[in-house]
């Protein structure tokens, strides 16, 4: 019995890895979870800056809080946009 060993070329056997990212490919569970977190976060920030609605929300000393709220709203919007885009791509490919 003569067994010949072949050398395998690892360059030809590269496997394509799929990176699942919850921002780029959100599921409906991710969408619901981050919507709830976004809403609760904005509510808590609003309650803390207004001292449970006893002070005015629009004060100059809360500019950084406003940027934080705007940033989280943009991130939530990006999540919704990516979900909508992926859902349309999934359905347009006939799957």
Q: What is the pLDDT of residues 78-94, one digit of tens each?
A: 999 999 998 887 767 76
Mean predicted lDDT score pLDDT of the chain: 83
Q: What is the pLDDT of residues 45-81, one digit of tens each?
A: 999 999 988 888 888 999 999 999 999 999 999 999 9
Tell me the pTM. Answer: 0.69
Map the chain to HEC letters: CCCCCCCCCCCCCCCCCCCCCCCCCCCHHHHHHHHHHHHHHHHHHHHHHCCCCCCCCCCHHHHHHHHHHHHHHHHHHHHHHHHHHHHHHHHHCCC
Rounded to an integer, the average pLDDT of 13-30 is: 76
């Amino acid at each position: 019995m003569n067994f010949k060993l072949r050398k395998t070329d690892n360059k030809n056997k590269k496997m394509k890895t799929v990176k699942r990212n919850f921002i780029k490919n959100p599921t409906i569970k991710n969408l619901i979870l981050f919507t709830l977190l976004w809403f609760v976060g904005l509510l808590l920030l609003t309650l803390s800056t207004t001292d449970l609605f006893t002070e005015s929300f629009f004060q100059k000393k809360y500019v950084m809080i406003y940027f934080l709220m705007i940033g989280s709203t943009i991130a939530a919007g990006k999540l919704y946009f990516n979900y909508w885009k992926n859902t349309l791509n999934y359905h347009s490919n006939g799957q």
